[in-house]
Amino acid sequence: MIKAVMMMNTQGKPRLAKFYDFFTVEKQQELIRGVFSVLCSRPENISNFLEIDSLFGPDSWLVYKHYATLYFVLVFDGSENELAMLDLIQVLVETLDKCFSNVCELDIVFNYSKMHTVLDEIVFGGQVLETSSTEVMKAVEDISKLEAASNAVSLVPKSVSRWRGR
């Protein structure tokens, strides 16, 4: 099971954090800080795996990938395959890339809720749901479309719609 998905920049600022078991806000911060301090102490060009028992309890593994200014981090237990998890990060990034065309940290920062939408289509309740970025994109686009549609109907302020109606 996947325990957490995190994105943070190289200065340790969290950009997205999703935990599939509940942790208090303080604990979450502690975990994010802990993960970051481990990550930033690792040299380049070494393996992407880490045993992270000390933070997440026994049987916890971490896979991370460093893209430009961002770390993508997955924490999971022994029932997942490390290399496959590395590819799951790849799926996530590919999807984001399709989503934002040339994704960068800014996209992630400014599209906070969309990030969650994308992530929810890939990982669901701690299990891998979908690994095809095309499928994920399709789902996300469906959601955007429907949301936009419902938005157009009901989110127009009343004053405006009245004005329009005239």
Quick one: which of 3, 5, 36, 47 contacts other proteins (CB under 8 A)?
Answer: 47
Report in angstroms the alpha-carbon separations of 150 from 115, 117, 154, 161: 20, 17, 6, 15
For residues 40 and 155, which CB has a smaller minimum distance to other proteins in the complex? 155
Is position 34 an interface residue for other proteins (rule: CB under 8 A)?
no
**73-92: which residues touch other proteins (CB under 8 A)?**
79, 81-84, 86-87, 89-91
Is position 165 an interface residue for other proteins (rule: CB under 8 A)?
no
**109-128: which residues touch other proteins (CB under 8 A)?**
109-114, 116-117, 120, 124-128
Residue 95 corresponds to which tokens in the numbers above? 């999807």
Contact indicator for 37, 22 with CB cutoff of 8 Å: no
101 secondary structure, DSSP code:
S
For residues 150 and 165, which CB has a smaller minimum distance to other proteins in the complex? 150
Contact indicator for 12, 33 with CB cutoff of 8 Å: yes
